[in-house]
Amino acid sequence: MRRIVFTGFRGTGKTEIGQWVAHQMNLPFIDTDSLIEERSGRSIPDIFHEEGEERFRTWEREVIATLPVDSVVVSTGGGAVIDPVNMEHLRQASVCILLTADIDTIKQRLFKKPRPALTNHPLAEEIAEVVDERRQAYHASADFSVDTTETSPEIAGNRVLQLLKNGVPTHQQRTHALAFFKTGRIPAPALSTLENLLTSPSRDPQTRILGIAGYPCAHSLSPRLFNALFERYQLNSRRCADWRCKYRSIFRGVCNRLQYGLGGDTKTTRCKKRCKGSASRCGRCCGCGCVRAL
Ligand code: S3P
């Protein structure tokens, strides 16, 4: 089974919820901060105070690089996501869950259990500033996200178990989405993949689906490119293409209804192959001189 990894800022409940989920699933639990303390023989505040944050980050990188990769629940330190090498390790064959909470909740939790300062600013300002700085890395770190504001570890933990078991969108939402995709001239093989991913009884609810819509998009190389990258990094994601639609808003509407189960956005670029987007067709783009969906 895939490793379950919790990411998120301090005070979002990674350790408590991770422990609770591990207990419910009868899996071992690893907290990377505890592992650093064990291996270094010192507390995290001592490492910060005596050797500085940089040294702590080195310990953190070493510990993350040597974590076991299956059947385990891992809780990471709040800053682990800022290092892309850490994320490359943490995402390997894992389902990553981002925990979030609002600033007041985080502040109250950190008052109860203080951590070494990350800036010279007062706590509330520090939280707002660092969360903002890391926002993108946090979101990129995760397959799913759970808000832990005003919840107990049990309630949030149950939400995590539900996500692992069922995925994000309900059966009804997935069925509606599939009906919609069937109207979009998706070629049969791609449609059958999508059908499997969305409604087959044997589907893996943790698979993320990314869609490409465009007009035209039939020649897009990106599904192959992204699927190769997902495979390379063992990400549980699939990219499906060819939903031919001029109206981006319709596609987005369906994606939104699926919440985060199916994400979609379009990006266009001129064909950089032989015809450079000119009117003479190169066979790799539509040849109409337009931009090509990627
Ligand atoms: C850190 C968060 C801490 C710990 C260290 C650095 C951060 O972990 O790794 O103090 O940079 O946000 P928790 O998120 O478990 O508090």
pLDDT per residue, tens digit, the chain (294 aa), is 889 999 999 999 999 999 999 999 999 999 999 999 999 999 999 999 999 999 999 999 999 999 998 899 999 999 999 999 999 999 888 999 999 999 999 999 999 988 999 999 999 999 999 999 999 999 888 888 999 999 999 999 999 999 999 888 888 888 988 888 788 767 788 788 889 988 999 988 888 777 666 655 556 666 777 788 888 877 888 776 555 555 666 666 666 655 544 444 545 554 555 555 454 545 544 444 333 332
- Identify the CA nearest to 79 among candidates 113, 111, 36, 41: 36
Which pTM does this prediction carry? 0.81
For ligand 1, what atom is nearest to the CA of residue 53? Answer: 6
- Residue 262: the pLDDT is 45
Distance 249 CA to ligand 1 centre (A): 40
Say how far apart CA 103 and CA 192 lie, in whole Å: 44
Report the top-level CATH class of 171-293: alpha beta
Q: What residue spans in the chain does CATH classification 3.40.50.300 cover? A: 3-166
- Identify the CA nearest to 184 among candidates 222, 214, 209: 214
Q: Name the closest-CA residue to atom 16, ligand 1.
A: 10
CATH homologous superfamily of domain 3-166?
P-loop containing nucleotide triphosphate hydrolases (3.40.50.300)
- 115 ligand 1 Cβ < 6 A: yes
Q: Name the closest-CA residue to atom 4, ligand 1.
A: 77
For ligand 1, what atom is nearest to the CA of residue 76? Answer: 15
- 44 ligand 1 Cβ < 6 A: yes
CA 292 to chain centre: 27
